[in-house]
A and B are shown apart, each in its own frame.
Chain A
Amino acid sequence: MSAKPTGNPVSAAGPAPDAAASPATAAPLLEVVDLCTGFHTPRGLVRAVDHVSIAVRPEETLGIVGESGSGKSVFARSVMGLIAPGQRVERTGRIMFAGRDLVRLPRRELRKMWGSEIAMVLQDPLTSLNPVTRIGRQISETVRRHRPELSRGEAEAASVELLRSVGIPEPAKRMHAYPHQLSGGMRQRVGIAIALAGNPRLLFADEPTTALDVTVQHQILDLLGRQQAERHMAMVLVTHDLGVVATRTDRIAVMYAGRIVETAPTRTLFANVMMPYTRALLDALPRLEEPSHTRLNAIPGHPPNLAVPMPGCRFADRCPAARRKCREQEPPLVQADDPEHSYRCWYPVGSPEYESSAAAGTETTERSGSDQGAMRER
């Protein structure tokens, strides 16, 4: 494995593009360079997104995974410009979208891009839909905003078509429904229809199926995949479930404590995990092929407090392979065998240090009857 540094640790100044952001075959549609988003809170500056660089190519699907609180939503919302610098928010870096830097774009210009260039689907569309307005009217209004030349009737017809395209049966009838009259799956379809109304080139989907049961989840992910192919759209799929991204993405970025800690083409990542955190996320999943009552490998401890700057690797407190160096120096993003695969770790999965520590740790992971297991994660 070549361990050639391709990025800079936090301390280094300047927008050194790392492996994740380097242009590969196609010119990227979105190129985020050194993005930082911080919130001023009574507890200090919370660095929710900390020097993140990543690119999304046209028509590509990028998955972003990580535990709760790792900064996935703040990242997505910062790129969209939904979290904008102000009294409480600091945002630095560059967000190049189709040749323009969104960070410098006047608010008015940015708004014009919402829906027509970049759009977003949220976990529960109920929060973004107006509860007292029939869904038909909400969709028509969005359609007319993007295509002001349409008459009211034409916009309505286009809305019915849009509902049909996202798989809503009897769309003309459903136009009259209020959001609460629809099932969770139907509401998410409406949310997707609204996001697609302006024919965006990039769609952010932030946990679009987390609130839904497996059957509907499958349907919605299929729908997103189909729409993406038909519209030649790029997509960023945010989730904490590695099972969801495994078969639905081209590339994955793993986020932890505001950082990208590993990024690779999806197949490469699953075949050759380097970062212990990614390994831990995978190992925590219950698996259908395992027998019942298999003890799960929860990640011990919890993510660090983002208001307190950390000198070393942010995963050190929870990592089985952590050593002194890890606590003192943050590992830079380095390239793995695949030039598109990079990670931050001094003792990656497969290294003698990691393997010896991980082997020593497995004895305690059997599911025991004692309360020791209950005490394991504190």
Chain B
Amino acid sequence: MTHADQDADRPLLRVADLVVEYHTRAGTVHAVSGVSFELDRGETLGVVGESGCGKSTMARSILQMPRPLSGTVEFDGTDLTRLPGSSLRRLRPELQMVFQDPVSSLNPRRKIRQIVAEPLTIWRRGTRAERAAKAEEMLRAVGLDPADYGDRHPTELSGGQCQRVAIARALVAGARLLVCDEPVSSLDVSLRATVLNLIEDLRERFDLAVLFIAHDLAVVKNVSDRVMVMYLGKVVEIAGAGELYSRPAHPYTLALLNSVPRPDPGARRPEGVVAGDPPSPVDPPSGCRFRTRCAMANDVCAREEPPLTAIRPGHAVACHFPLQAADLSRQPEA
């Protein structure tokens, strides 16, 4: 993979019109319905949205597990969707993923140093001694002393330490894209802060492109350069992190922001939050998929699907009636 020299300006990852469906007894689940975005080296794109809106499916289908129904995923100029399995496997070390549950994602019978070295063994990198040295280097990079932790088993580590091991393993073979699917959702406040700081450090040190999925908006803002909001398989808004939080334009984004618990007893409890559950992705609403829960919906919203449209440079929204600054008076100050 030396395309990088030819086109250094090109984003590392370019996803276009990604569609993923699952066929179930209840019908076809429209899990991801036309998602497009770009992601650069050294950049973090945050992804937020309710449970079931397709975040994990999108992430996994970027890695071609499962392969999308349609759309393209260009990684450093190569369209992964057209790549045969064997070439994809060769690329695998460069595209890595970290999951929510750190403990169950690690083999309990193996030692920490073996777990971290495993990808090198699978891809037959270097000699045994080189692999061991590389694993130790990665353990140190994630803040675990190999002398102390190397010979332990995952059950002898805390959740936050297991998550660091998972990150070390993901990066050991030279990952360039790190997909984090709710990496801190099961960690307590302090471990969460540790792991977020770590992801930031490693992104800078290894010039990683990070796709960071979480449902906690404060967490996402902390690590992201840009944030993408998903609703029922679609991108409803995407903008720079600061911009999205201070000037949300989609009613759903505003409602999500209003739902964030504030560590301040004096904070007003905002009114505009989303009620009920999202509709079934088997039978998504016509027009705007958010219309069944949107206070501003009218006939146009039921008839016509709002396209994702730029309202400012770097800020796009899919709504017929994007919120103006004046509408945001109800928004908690950002």
Q: Which A residues are within 8 Å of any B CB, using their own CB? A: 67-69, 169, 183-186, 212-219, 221, 240-244, 246-247, 266-267, 270, 280-282, 284-299, 302, 367-371, 373-378
- Which of B225, B262, B333 has most chain A Cβ within 10 Å? B262
Give the nearest-CB partner of B198 in chain A.
A374
Q: Which of A213, A289, A299, A368 contacts B190 (CB 8 A)?
A: A299
**Residues of A contacting B256 with CB < 8 Å?**
214-215
- Which of B140, B188, B202, B273 has most chain A Cβ within 10 Å? B188
CA–CA, A183 to B277, complex, Å? 8
Q: Does B104 contact A (CB under 8 A)?
A: no
| Contacting pair A286 B218 (CB below 8 A) | yes
CA–CA, A374 to B137, complex, Å? 13
CA–CA, A67 to B266, complex, Å? 24
**Residues of A contacting B242 with CB < 8 Å?**
291-292
Distance of B237 from chain A, by nearest CB (Å): 15
Known: A281-B190, A288-B221, A297-B193. A219 touches B275 (CB 8 A): yes
Contact flags (1/0) for B318-334 with A, using CB distance below 8 Å?
00000000000000111
| Contacting pair A371 B259 (CB below 8 A) | no
Known: A215-B274, A286-B193, A292-B221. A240 touches B267 (CB 8 A): no
Give the nearest-CB partner of B49 in chain A.
A213
Q: Does B236 contact A (CB under 8 A)?
A: no
CA–CA, A204 to B263, complex, Å? 21
Q: Does B152 contact A (CB under 8 A)?
A: no
Q: Does B145 contact A (CB under 8 A)?
A: yes
| Contacting pair A375 B189 (CB below 8 A) | no
Q: Which of B142, B197, B202, B266 contacts A298 (CB 8 A)?
A: B197
Give the nearest-CB partner of B148 in chain A.
A378
Q: Does B52 contact A (CB under 8 A)?
A: yes
| Contacting pair A369 B193 (CB below 8 A) | no
**Residues of B contacting A169 with CB < 8 Å?**
276
Distance of B172 from chain A, by nearest CB (Å): 15
Q: Which B residues are within 8 Å of any A CB, using their own CB? A: 50-52, 140-145, 158-159, 187-194, 196-198, 200-202, 204-205, 215-219, 221-225, 241-242, 245, 255-257, 259-267, 269, 273-277, 332-334
Distance of B245 from chain A, by nearest CB (Å): 6
Give the nearest-CB partner of B293 in chain A.
A215
CA–CA, A369 to B207, complex, Å? 11
Give the nearest-CB partner of A167 in chain B.
B276
Distance of B230 from chain A, by nearest CB (Å): 12
Distance of A218 from chain B, by nearest CB (Å): 4
Q: Which of A68, A266, A298, A371 contacts B205 (CB 8 A)?
A: A371
| Contacting pair A289 B334 (CB below 8 A) | yes
Give the nearest-CB partner of B187 in chain A.
A68
Known: A374-B141, A375-B143. A215 touches B261 (CB 8 A): no
Known: A288-B221, A292-B242, A298-B197. A67 touches B215 (CB 8 A): no
| Contacting pair A215 B259 (CB below 8 A) | yes
CA–CA, A296 to B245, complex, Å? 19
A-B contact pairs, 20 of them (CB 8 A): A67-B189, A68-B159, A217-B261, A218-B259, A219-B275, A243-B263, A247-B267, A282-B263, A284-B189, A285-B189, A288-B218, A289-B333, A290-B221, A292-B223, A296-B196, A375-B143, A376-B143, A377-B194, A378-B143, A378-B145
Distance of A358 from chain B, by nearest CB (Å): 17
Known: A67-B188, A374-B143. A284 touches B265 (CB 8 A): no
Give the nearest-CB partner of B167 in chain A.
A374
CA–CA, A302 to B157, complex, Å? 11
